């Protein structure tokens, strides 16, 4: 930035401002730009298979589990905390739900309710440990995640279940207005969390805590209650994610939830750019999940080895987070 001040500075200043605002806009829309670019590249490389309604539908359907999880994780990140138990809690909830059908021959409805309820219980444990016992969330959720993983294997006795129940499988096969039900559920959950964070008193409180917890306390924000509710909601999303996973193949295998933690956080961090690099936001996380899902599918179609997806995801995340860190420094001077 070498704008001369004395020489008819106005034109230069206007030009500099325009250049600056263009850069800000490019950063803000970088997720959308990356999304469109990835779509364009894969479409050009595989015009017949990638550009197909069936493919879009499949990407949305496959991404639904991660969408639900990423949205729950986003709420925790907005608070300035971490929930590292989400993946393991998915496994615990899956075991709890599946056992209702496999061991007790109960209905699909009960299985779904137990699965989601188990998530709520795990979330409540996380929330109390963090808000009232004041254990740093990083370690508290790691410990509770480990307990959840143990509970999962204890419930299912480390065995595989297949062909759970025909009616349970319909959760994954039903279409609503041409869209897979799982994708519709993910969209509804995303919308609900979007409204929660943007338009409610609770959302105000949550984002204030994440921005400045000391100021939030002095302003009378009920920090403990808001924190517990956030962890419970995040646990419920993990329970719902467990239903979406197990219904799709109508089966369960041990440690079914491992592998969701990193991509859920990756998506949330990708979504940061949509909030100006400063605030985690539900819409950004949702689009982040779809971007990751599209890249994975696209690379598979290009017959790339399977490790390629992990490599690209890691690289994309690193670039996104680096961009966010730089932007944060320039805006807040930290």
- Judged by the rule CB under 8 A, the positions of this chain that interact with other proteins are 1-3, 5, 12-14, 16-17, 20, 199-202, 204, 207-208, 211-212, 214-222, 278-279, 331-332
Long-range contacts of 192-199 (CB under 8 A, 24+ apart): 193/71, 193/72, 193/74, 193/75, 193/233, 193/282, 194/282, 194/283, 196/75, 197/75, 197/78, 197/281, 197/282
Q: Which two tokens stand for residue 303?
A: 């017959």
Closest to other proteins by CB, 6 or 303:
6
Give the SS3 label for residue 177: coil
Structure tokens at 157: 């006795």
On whether the CB atoms of residues 175 and 55 are closer than 8 A, the answer is no
Residue 281 CB, nearest approach to other proteins (Å): 12
Count of C-beta atoms within a 10 Å radius of residue 80: 17
141 or 285: CB nearest other proteins? 285
Instruction: State the minimum distance, in angstroms, from the CB of residue 199 to other proteins.
Output: 5
Instruction: Please state the closest distance from residue 203 (CB atom) to other proteins, in A.
Output: 8
Smallest gap from Cβ 80 to other proteins, in A, equals 11
Q: Least Å distance between CB 16 and other proteins?
A: 4
Do the beta carbons of residue 288 and residue 36 sit within 8 Å? no
Q: Which contiguous run of DSSP H or E holds residue 261?
A: helix 261-271
- Helices 30-45, 9-28: axis angle to 10 degrees equals 60
Q: How far apart are CA 35 and CA 256, in angstroms?
A: 28
Tell me the closest approach of the beta carbon of residue 35 to other proteins, in angstroms: 24
Task: In angstroms, give the least distance from the CB of 174 to other proteins.
Answer: 31
Q: Which residues pair with 162 in a beta bridge?
A: 251
Closer residue to other proteins (CB): 57 or 204:
204
Buried b (16+ CB within 10 A) or exposed e, 284-310: bbbbbbbbbbbbbbbbeeeeeeeeebe
Q: List the one residue out of 220, 231, 229 whose CA is nearest residue 202.
A: 229
Which CB sits closer to other proteins, 150 or 331? 331
């Amino acid at each position: 930035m070498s704008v001369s001040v004395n020489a008819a500075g106005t034109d230069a200043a206007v030009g500099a401002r325009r250049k600056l605002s263009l850069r800000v806009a490019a950063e803000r829309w970088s997720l959308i730009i990356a999304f469109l670019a990835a779509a364009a590249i894969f479409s050009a490389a595989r015009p017949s298979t990638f550009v197909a309604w069936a493919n879009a539908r499949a990407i949305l359907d496959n991404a639904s589990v991660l969408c639900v999880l990423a949205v729950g994780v986003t709420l925790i990140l907005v608070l300035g905390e971490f929930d590292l138990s989400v993946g393991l809690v998915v496994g615990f909830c899956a075991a709890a739900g599946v056992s209702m059908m496999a061991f007790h021959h109960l209905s699909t409805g009960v299985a779904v309710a137990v699965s989601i309820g188990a998530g709520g219980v795990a979330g409540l444990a996380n929330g109390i440990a963090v808000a009232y016992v004041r254990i740093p969330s990083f370690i508290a959720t790691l410990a509770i995640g480990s307990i959840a993983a143990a509970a999962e294997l204890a419930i299912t006795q480390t065995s595989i279940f297949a062909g759970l129940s025909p009616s349970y499988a319909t959760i994954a096969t039903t279409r609503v207005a041409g869209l897979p039900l799982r994708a519709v559920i993910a969209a509804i959950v995303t919308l609900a969390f979007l409204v929660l964070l943007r338009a409610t008193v609770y959302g105000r409180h949550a984002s204030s805590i994440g921005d400045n917890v000391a100021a939030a306390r002095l302003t009378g924000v009920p920090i403990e209650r808001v924190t517990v509710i956030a962890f419970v909601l995040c646990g419920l999303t993990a329970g719902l994610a467990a239903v979406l996973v197990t219904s799709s193949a109508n089966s369960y295998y041990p440690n079914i939830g491992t592998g969701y933690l990193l991509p859920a956080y990756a998506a949330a961090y990708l979504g940061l750019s949509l909030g100006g690099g400063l605030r985690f936001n539900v819409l950004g996380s949702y689009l982040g999940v779809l971007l990751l899902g599209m890249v994975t599918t696209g690379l598979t179609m290009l017959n790339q080895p399977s490790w390629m997806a992990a490599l690209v995801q890691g690289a994309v995340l690193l670039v996104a987070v680096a961009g966010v860190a730089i932007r944060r420094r320039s805006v807040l001077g930290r």
